[in-house]
Amino acid sequence: MRVCISDAANDTLLTCGSGLDCKTKFLENNTNFDEMMASAPVFVQDKIREIFDKAIYCEGTCKVKAVYGDGFGESVESCEIGDEEILIEIHGAEGVEILKFMKKNSGKFK
């Protein structure tokens, strides 16, 4: 699976003191995230946390980068120039497990 994190970020204009402030604000407004993480296959949970940590951060105000690719509404051959690529290796039965997870969570975090 290929997931891309945009180089460009959207400024939420929400004041913050740390990345944790931003992540907390995100979680308060996206109650599906905890449910999604709980249902995620174990082998992708660390990658989901990595994507979450890289896409939401603080620079005086909370910034959010777009995430796209497999599991985020579209499949891509490669990331746009300047965007960060995160590859998730899937083997055997993990493929079925991740497809069920993606279908269940389709459209929740576009």
pLDDT in tens, 36-81: 788 888 888 888 889 999 999 999 999 999 988 876 667 788 899 9
73-99 per-position pLDDT tens digit: 677 888 999 999 998 888 888 878 887
Task: Let me know if residue 110 belongs to a domain.
Answer: no
Crossing angle of the two packed helices 19-29 and 42-55, in degrees rounded to 10:
110
45 lies in which domain range? 2-105
* CA atoms within 13 A of residue 53's CA, in its CB half-sphere: 7
Q: Is residue 49 part of a domain?
A: yes
Q: Within a domain: residue 73?
A: yes
> Does residue 57 fall inside a structural domain?
yes
Residue 26 forms part of a structural domain: yes
Q: Which two tokens stand for residue 5?
A: 């994190």
Residues 99 and 92: beta-carbon distance below 8 Å:
no
CB atoms within 10 A of CB 39: 11
Residue 98 lies in a domain: yes
**How many structural domains comprise the chain?**
1
Per the CB < 8 A criterion, the answer to whether 63 and 57 are in contact is: yes
**Residue 91 in domain:** yes
For 85, phi then psi, to 5°, come to -105, 135
